Amino acid sequence: MIKLSRGFDIKLLGKAEHTFLPAKQPTFFALKPTDVIGVGPIPKLVVEAGSRVKAGEPLFYDKLMPRIQFCSPVSGVVTEIRRAAKRAIAEVVIEADADIQFHDFGKLDPSSVSREAAVERLLESGAWLLLRQRPFNVAANPDETPRDIFVSCFDTAPLAPDASVTMAGKEAAFQAGVNVLAKLTSGSVHLGLGPDAPAVFKNATGVKSTSFSGPHPAGNVGVQIHHVAPIGKGEVVWTIKPQDVAIIGTLFTEGRFDTERTVAVTGSELKTTGYFKTRIGASVSSVISGNLKHDNVRIVSGNPLVGSIVGNDGFLGLYDDQITVLEEGNKPEFMGWLLPSYARPSLSRTFLSFLRPNKVYHVNTNNHGEERAYVMSGQYEQVVPMDLYPQYLIKSILYSDFEQMEGLGIYEVVEEDLALCEFVCTSKQPVQQILRSGLDLVRTEG
């Protein structure tokens, strides 16, 4: 049991009720190349508008990683290839059939399949993308064997889904997925268990489990890797989320790429919150429309710290299992820094609301201040439960010092691990953006 003391739990209004929303399945689904780091802006398309695909059939691939196929999460007709600036592909949109047809890959026994065959199956079905690689959080490299594979079985981010709901009924699929993963690595499959871990994780076999407790980011897989077996230079570790492990399990035991995902629909600006069973890349409109309290909202695919903004007609990200709807804070506040007109969460105790430690906050997206040079020190260290100096790491990225970046642990962190630093920063520095630029620099030129 590893108890982590540093961190900060942000308690927000709008947690998902443990009920399933009565929304209909969305008609449109999309795959976004931008969800995967390292993919070029214009991947090679295998389909075009009007093509008919089954779930698991390829849509596009990156020219520099031709073995990894991006496959359709549903069956239907490709309606549109949405492009962004300079003809970059933003989304490949599919209009789904009412009844999903799956490409039949054939069953493979997870316990007896060879490593090569498992890798091939994952690559051709599109399930390979569910594996991500540390350092850098890019798509896993099929030509490499990772030292270990880590799965974090609980999520401590604000409004995050509860694994007891999202993993219900997936026990067999999860175990099958774990067996497949064990073949892929030379080391072990590590599970990071949270407090009150559901039986699906506790009863898993063929894994090394470690219990963690503590405030956010205890549920981040990067933090767990740091405490179990930190990544050194040259080492490669893969990470995957529990629902995706179950998807891999189903691929091998049933022979189809069934991208079913239970998504938490959360946020204070929704009339009803809850869970929704859908598939990867679902359009958010079916759960959002008619469910908003007003129009001045920010719809985020993912959690409020790391998620990306999608519009009313946007799509769930490849790795996301949460939709958050926040109020936009685009109104000026008179003397807001001196006499705040509404309670807001803070790491410091300069707001009276700290007197109620269990207070749940209604937040908005206001920046609460302007960007300044670094003045305060020690704030980042208070919310990162790892043996590294985040502020020095960010500064070393800002002046592009490679040796210092490596020495300070850039291989061990990705944006989600330092997202809390960006939240607490008094100087409102864009920490995640700086970190990503540093990671890209080391990845491409290191």
Under the binding rule (CB under 8 A), the answer on residue 351 touching other proteins is: yes
Residue choice 332, 352, 355, 399 for contact with other proteins (CB under 8 A): 332
What type of residue sits at position 266?
A: T
Secondary structure element (H or E) that encloses residue 84, with its range: none
Nearer to other proteins, 106 or 332 (CB): 332
Q: Is 360 in the site for other proteins (CB under 8 A)?
A: no
Nearest distance in Å: CB 416, other proteins: 10
CA-to-CA distance for 162 and 319, rounded, in angstroms?
A: 16
Does residue 373 touch other proteins according to CB under 8 A? yes
In the range 197-236, which residues lie near other proteins by CB under 8 A?
A: 230, 232-235
Site size toward other proteins, by CB under 8 A: 74
Strand order in the sheet with 44-45: 44-45, 58-62, 65-71
Site for other proteins in 426-445 (CB under 8 A): 426-428, 430-433
Comparing C-alpha atoms, which of 288, 289, 368, 364 is closest to residue 328?
364
Asked if residue 375 binds other proteins (CB under 8 A), the reply is yes
Is residue 137 a contact residue for other proteins (CB under 8 A)? no
Q: Least separation, in Å, of the C-beta of 366 and other proteins?
A: 6
Query: What are 323's strand-pairing partners?
Result: 265, 301
Name which position in 300, 310, 394, 397 contacts other proteins (CB under 8 A): 300
Given its phi and psi angles, is residue 126 left (phi above 0), alpha (psi -120 to 50 degrees) or beta?
Answer: left
Q: Which amino acid is at 102?
A: F
Q: Is 388 in the site for other proteins (CB under 8 A)?
A: yes
- What's the rounded Cα separation, in Å, for the pair 415 and 326? 20
Distance of CA 71 to the CA centre of its chain: 19
Residue placing its CB nearer to other proteins in the complex, 109 or 371: 371
Q: Which of 370, 399, 444, 445 binds other proteins (CB under 8 A)?
A: 370
> Which 389-408 positions form the footprint of other proteins (CB under 8 A)?
389, 391-392, 404, 407-408
Rounded to the nearest whole angstrom, what is the least distance from the CB of residue 121 to other proteins in the complex? 33
Q: Is position 367 an interface residue for other proteins (rule: CB under 8 A)?
A: yes
354-363 contacts at long range (C-beta below 8 A, 24 or more positions apart): 358/11, 359/11, 360/11, 360/12, 360/13, 361/10, 361/11, 361/12, 361/13, 362/12, 362/13, 362/268, 362/327, 363/12, 363/13, 363/268, 363/304, 363/326, 363/327
Structure tokens at 77: 């007709």
What's the chain's Rg over C-alpha atoms? 21
Cβ atoms of residues 388 and 412 within 8 Å: yes
Q: Specify the residue, 75 or 364, whose C-beta has the smaller distance to other proteins.
A: 364
Q: Return the residues of window 309-328 that contact other proteins according to CB under 8 A.
A: 309, 324, 326, 328
Stretch that binds other proteins, among 140-148, 160-168, 242-250, 358-366 (CB under 8 A): 358-366
- If one asks whether residue 27 binds other proteins (CB under 8 A), the answer comes out as no
Query: 10 vs 181, which CB is nearer to other proteins?
Result: 10
Residue 71 and residue 122: Cα distance in Å, rounded? 11
Q: Are 233 and 411 in contact (CB under 8 A)?
A: yes
Q: Which residues contact 3 (CB under 8 A, 6 or more apart)?
A: 212, 213, 214
Binding positions for other proteins, 234-253, rule CB under 8 A: 234-235
In the complex with other proteins, the residue whose CB is nearer, 93 or 363, is: 363
CB of 116 to other proteins, least distance (A): 30
Least separation in angstroms between residue 227's CB and other proteins is 13
Q: Is residue 190 within the footprint of other proteins (CB under 8 A)?
A: no
Site for other proteins in 408-427 (CB under 8 A): 408-409, 419, 422-427
| Binding flag, residue 376, other proteins (CB under 8 A) | yes
Q: Does 50 bind other proteins (CB under 8 A)?
A: no
Q: Could you say whether residue 304 binds other proteins (CB under 8 A)? A: yes
CB of 346: closest distance to other proteins in angstroms? 4
Residue 368 makes contact with other proteins by CB under 8 A: yes
Residue with the two structure tokens 């407790």: 213
Is residue 41 a contact residue for other proteins (CB under 8 A)? no
φ, ψ of residue 229 in degrees (nearest 5): -155, 90
Using the minimum distance from each CB to other proteins, give the nearer residue, 157 or 184. Answer: 157
Give the footprint of other proteins on residues 148-167 (CB under 8 A).
158
Q: How many CA atoms lie within 13 A of 360 on its CB side?
A: 8
Strand partners, 324: 266, 300
